[in-house]
Structure 1
Amino acid sequence: MSNTTQKETAPKKILLNAFDMNCVGHINHGLWTHPRDESHRFNELSYWTDLAQTLEKGLFDGLFIADITGVYDVYQNGIDLTLKESIQLPSHDPSTLVSAMAAVTKNLGFGITVNLSYESPYQFARRFASLDHLTKGRIGWNIVTGYLDSAERLIGQKGLKDHDLRYEQAEEFLELCYKFWEGSWEDDAVLKDKANRIFTDPSKVHAIEHHGRFYNSQGVFQVSPSIQRTPVLFQAGASPKGMQFATNHAEAMFIGGDTPEKIKVQVDKIRALASEQGRDGDALKLFAGITVVSAETDELAETKLREYVQYASPEAGLAHFSSSIGTDLGQFADDEAIPYKQTNSIVSVNNRFKEQKVTIADLKAQHLLGGRYPLIVGSGATVAEKLIEFIDISGLDGFNLTRTVAPESHHDFIHYVIPELQKRGRYKTAYEQGSLRHKIFQKGDRLPDTHPIHQFRCQSSDAHLDQIQTQKQTA
């Protein structure tokens, strides 16, 4: 058998991000009250540098840090429970953590959520290009457009923009960022020539001109080309408009769903839609969120789950979910079906109530540990087999692993589950060298020409002169 055939038939290696947030309660709510949980230390830098080093020892591909602008104030029309249970409140800026974590690691990637609706494209592009330099090409951006009315009020607006209008703005935001990252500086512009006193060749730096519906910009980007130029692009759009946007721009996407069979439907749809847009649908890396409780044996894992359940808060999960769908779930009795109501919040989540009957009791059962992601419980071997089955049925590429009791749950996963995945040939035993993009895709540091970004890349001055000379010769 040839090496090529072996490579084609080799089982898919599972990609893995730790999924977290710069706050106490992220996905699995209430577990901050567990005696061994340390998430209350989220405002200490050592909490994050220790976590980054732990994840790198476990060969995690990345630490994916979520974020929101605004607060969860829909449940019971206020924030009392949000404050009491610390449901992503207080929460701090995730980008402030990256440099410190990058300094204590060499391979771990960092995916940072930033809501473009409340950012200036220039300042954002400058910040992330700077981070790509400091991390040596290990930065990614999760593109979100927001879904909280409270965020709009915080920045002085009356309410959330129309869902589709937010994506129209996002298209232009990305276009302008692409121009900054890819169109202002040529790769060989920086010379660092001390003898001739030329740090940067002026002929290889170009001003950006952009006059659009939402943004205007003129001038030279201040940051020289970084390893990746453009951060690895993540997105989670699942509405028709969001899916169109994501399959056009994103390199990796996050998918929700409680079973691999349901997720497979989304996976197939996403890959087909990307192919329709001229991209390689199979090249998109697709992730789903999961929660894992693991221990030495299945019995001990079930015991640990029962212990965790004592501290979890399904009601806090409902409060989080209320803001996701824009409906106060506190107004319904446990046996009441939740009615569908069109809102400007997360369309794909809200549509669930249009498609099936769901009661508050159903949601509370799903929020056993305060979060709604699929829960996998068992020994390392049991969890590994379930994860592999999940991947093979759904067609996913990997998972975003949420924390339960921090940092215990990550230590458990690395100790019990990772070795079992490696034994089965489904998880790497060493990091690839290179940027985050190259580690994930094995195709270099830059976005390929099949991505829409190629139209915004600056033409080198040498190539431009050659083109002019050719035109003169053929005139």
Structure 2
Amino acid sequence: MSVPSNENAHGSNDLPEGVPTTAAGKREILFNAFDMNCVAHQSPGLWRHPEDRARDYNTLGYWTGLAQTLEQGLFDGLFIADVLGPYDVYGSSDEATLKAGTQVPVNDPMLVVPPMAAVTEHLAFGVTAGTAYEHPYPFARRLATLDHLTEGRVGWNVVTGYLPSAAINMGQEDQMEHDERYNHADEYLDVVYKLLEGSWEDDAVVNDKESGIFIDPSKVHRIEHEGTYFKTPGIAFTEPSPQRTPVIYQAGASTRGRAFAGKHAEAVFINSPTDDLIKGTTAKIRQALVESGRNPYDVRVMSMQTIVTGTTDEEARAKYEELTRYIDVEGGLVLMSGWMGINLAEFELDEPIGDVQSNAIQSAVETFKKASGDDSIEWTVRKLAEWCGVGGFGPVIVGSGATVARELTRIQDETDVDGFNLAYHITPGTFEDIVEFVVPELQQLGRYKTEYAEGTMRHKLFGRGDHLPQNHYGSSFTLRNRAAV
């Protein structure tokens, strides 16, 4: 089986099985807001903008207000990124990242979810948590707790880690080798599945006040896991939550990462600055699902995107030009050094890229050349940082709500993504503008929902119930499927 063609994705009669549609019968564009529990996420320096409120990241009001704005705009979810160590590749120290505030300080993403859930009814929350440094037994309990408190509106973005600083601070000399990190993560997921899917039967909680029995012990089972990395013999310490296993997110783009996604993921985030790269990555992800015995549209592919918008194209362009005044060049180089694994402090800011002997840098520049469409730009190390100054490594659309809406539908139709992971330039202003200017235009085009579906996060995304589907690897650990073996 191969991934079906989707060249007419907007047409109601051409959509492959599993593609979400609007009430108008057209392919639906999904929106996630992309944030992080910090000051400077993807646009270093823009925290200095007079309208930016990122400094309030450590207050409840920031998060509850953002959640209410997103729900007003019918966003599908809020995805919260995370790292567990500072970016210290640039300059071989953390001095520059501390000065710029680039993804440091960073607070725990999970703790802001319950207050946001309390002030919303439908918005879902994707939280990032790594598999490298915490045992799956206590983590599964925290994950189930969040699923209970949100009434099934939570997903887990599974990351294996990429910053050596995190490994060092956890007492290790360095991270595990790339593919071994995924082998470790595979077993980590096995333990989580066994605890959340295969320990408690659905009716284990009796809650019988007459007999005094709260839980029927015969319906709670030890998981008896003993593998290469973990030994977990006992029972799950939480009763089943609405989704049992929250929706599984993933963002790895390597060959091994795509195989991991094919096996586990239900939503995948990609970060590619050109349409060709978005299309190619999306096709590879969908093919990875086919190779794992799943439908290629059993995953929702969300492409990172930054939007600068207003009432007119001219107003949006003026906003963008103002934003560029606040770009922090060194902060951009800090992030790019961490992402690329190259110490960009070793090069002069205005050194032409042609003189830089680095395949990774040359590859990045070739990608940016295609994204910019401007062959006249003389690419220097400074230009690299400025390019990433608004929106990080992802693409940027500048225009009126109508212009942006048309561009988003074009990208979806040409690349087969399900939606967009929307990074902010200033917060919450970016999201307020999208809700005001872009969402109504997408609704006019019949490409965006006009009301939420009921149910859990998984049911909203796929429309087939709260739990992992039968063809998902994790469902093999359910008590029902284990008994059938």
TM-score of the pair, normalised by structure 1 = 0.91
Give the C-alpha shift of residue 438 in structure 1: 0.5
After superposition, what is the alpha-carbon deviation per residue over 1:34-54, rounded to whole angstroms, capped at 9, x for unaligned?
111111011111110111111
Aligned to 1:120: 135
Evaluate the alpha carbon distance shift between residue 350 and residue 134 of structure 1 in structure 2; reply closer, same or farther with a 3 A threshold.
Answer: farther
Residue 476 (structure 2) pairs with residue 455 (structure 1): yes
Written as runs of structure 1 = structure 2, the 5 A alignment for 1:272-351 is: 272-333=287-348, 334-337=351-354, 338-340=356-358
For 1:150, the aligned partner's letter is: S
Give the Cα–Cα distance (whole angstroms) in 2 for the partners of residues 351 and 205 of structure 1: 56
Give the Cα–Cα distance (whole angstroms) in 1 for the partners of residues 472 and 303 of structure 2: 23
Give the Cα–Cα distance (whole angstroms) in 2 for the partners of residues 353 and 386 of structure 1: 24
Of 159, 164, 168, the match for 2:183: 168
For 1:110, the aligned partner's letter is: F
Give the C-alpha shift of residue 262 in structure 1: 2.0
Aligned to 1:420: 441
Give the Cα–Cα distance (whole angstroms) in 1 for the partners of residues 78 and 288 of structure 2: 28
For 2:211, the aligned partner's letter is: N
Worse-matched range after superposition: 451-460 or 174-183: 451-460
Residue 379 (structure 2) pairs with residue 379 (structure 1): no
Aligned to 1:344: none
Evaluate the alpha carbon distance shift between residue 183 and residue 354 of structure 1 in structure 2; reply closer, same or farther with a 3 A threshold.
Answer: farther
Verify the 8 A CA contact 1:314 1:371 in the aligned structure 2.
no
Structure 1 unaligned segments of length 5 or more: list them. 342-348, 468-475
For 2:457, the aligned partner's letter is: L
Verify the 8 A CA contact 1:314 1:370 in the aligned structure 2.
no
For 2:447, the aligned partner's letter is: R
Written as runs of structure 1 = structure 2, the 5 A alignment for 1:137-176 is: 137-176=152-191
* RMSD of Structure 2 on Structure 1 (CA): 2.2
Give the Cα–Cα distance (whole angstroms) in 2 for the partners of residues 411 and 125 of structure 1: 34
Aligned to 2:373: none
For 1:452, the aligned partner's letter is: Y
Residue 407 (structure 2) pairs with residue 390 (structure 1): no
Aligned residue for 1:219, secondary structure, equals coil
Give the Cα–Cα distance (whole angstroms) in 1 for the partners of residues 138 and 357 of structure 2: 41
Of 63, 82, 87, the match for 1:67: 82
Verify the 8 A CA contact 1:317 1:372 in the aligned structure 2.
no
Give the C-alpha shift of residue 360 in structure 1: 2.2
For 2:472, the aligned partner's letter is: H
Aligned to 1:183: 198
Worse-matched range after superposition: 329-338 or 181-190: 329-338
Give the Cα–Cα distance (whole angstroms) in 2 for the partners of residues 63 and 285 of structure 1: 15
For 2:154, the aligned partner's letter is: I
After superposition, what is the alpha-carbon deviation per residue over 1:9-41, rounded to whole angstroms, capped at 9, x for unaligned?
932111110000000000011100011111101
Aligned to 2:122: 107
Give the Cα–Cα distance (whole angstroms) in 2 for the partners of residues 5 and 388 of structure 1: 17
For 1:93, the aligned partner's letter is: D
Give the C-alpha shift of residue 459 in structure 1: 3.3
Worse-matched range after superposition: 358-367 or 414-423: 358-367
Of 428, 438, 445, the match for 2:459: 438
Verify the 8 A CA contact 2:272 2:393 in the aligned structure 1.
no
Verify the 8 A CA contact 1:313 1:369 in the aligned structure 2.
no
For 1:389, the aligned partner's letter is: R
Aligned to 2:45: 30
Verify the 8 A CA contact 1:30 1:370 in the aligned structure 2.
no
Give the C-alpha shift of residue 350 in structure 1: 8.1
Aligned residue for 2:50, secondary structure, equals coil
Verify the 8 A CA contact 2:39 2:57 in the aligned structure 1.
yes
Of 219, 225, 237, the match for 2:252: 237
Evaluate the alpha carbon distance shift between residue 435 and residue 64 of structure 1 in structure 2; reply closer, same or farther with a 3 A threshold.
Answer: same
Give the C-alpha shift of residue 177 in structure 1: 0.4
For 2:427, the aligned partner's letter is: A
Give the Cα–Cα distance (whole angstroms) in 2 for the partners of residues 42 and 444 of structure 1: 34
Aligned to 2:220: 205
Aligned residue for 1:136, secondary structure, equals coil
Give the Cα–Cα distance (whole angstroms) in 2 for the partners of residues 308 and 457 of structure 1: 50
Give the C-alpha shift of residue 365 in structure 1: 4.5
Worse-matched range after superposition: 413-422 or 259-268: 259-268
For 1:252, the aligned partner's letter is: A
Give the C-alpha shift of residue 315 in structure 1: 2.9
Verify the 8 A CA contact 1:287 1:398 in the aligned structure 2.
yes
Give the Cα–Cα distance (whole angstroms) in 2 for the partners of residues 30 and 256 of structure 1: 21
Verify the 8 A CA contact 1:13 1:427 in the aligned structure 2.
yes
Give the Cα–Cα distance (whole angstroms) in 2 for the partners of residues 415 and 262 of structure 1: 30
Give the C-alpha shift of residue 80 in structure 1: 2.1
Evaluate the alpha carbon distance shift between residue 370 and residue 441 of structure 1 in structure 2; reply closer, same or farther with a 3 A threshold.
Answer: closer
Verify the 8 A CA contact 2:316 2:398 in the aligned structure 1.
yes
> Equivalent pairs: percent with the same residue?
47
Aligned to 1:92: 107
Evaluate the alpha carbon distance shift between residue 419 and residue 381 of structure 1 in structure 2; reply closer, same or farther with a 3 A threshold.
Answer: same
Aligned to 1:472: none
After superposition, what is the alpha-carbon deviation per residue over 1:424-467, rounded to whole angstroms, capped at 9, x for unaligned?
0110010000000001111110110101112211139xx96xx9
Worse-matched range after superposition: 350-359 or 246-255: 350-359
Verify the 8 A CA contact 1:75 1:330 in the aligned structure 2.
yes
For 1:289, the aligned partner's letter is: M
Aligned residue for 2:393, secondary structure, equals coil
Q: Count matched residues.
A: 454
For 1:307, the aligned partner's letter is: E
Give the Cα–Cα distance (whole angstroms) in 2 for the partners of residues 364 and 6 of structure 1: 42
Aligned to 1:220: 235
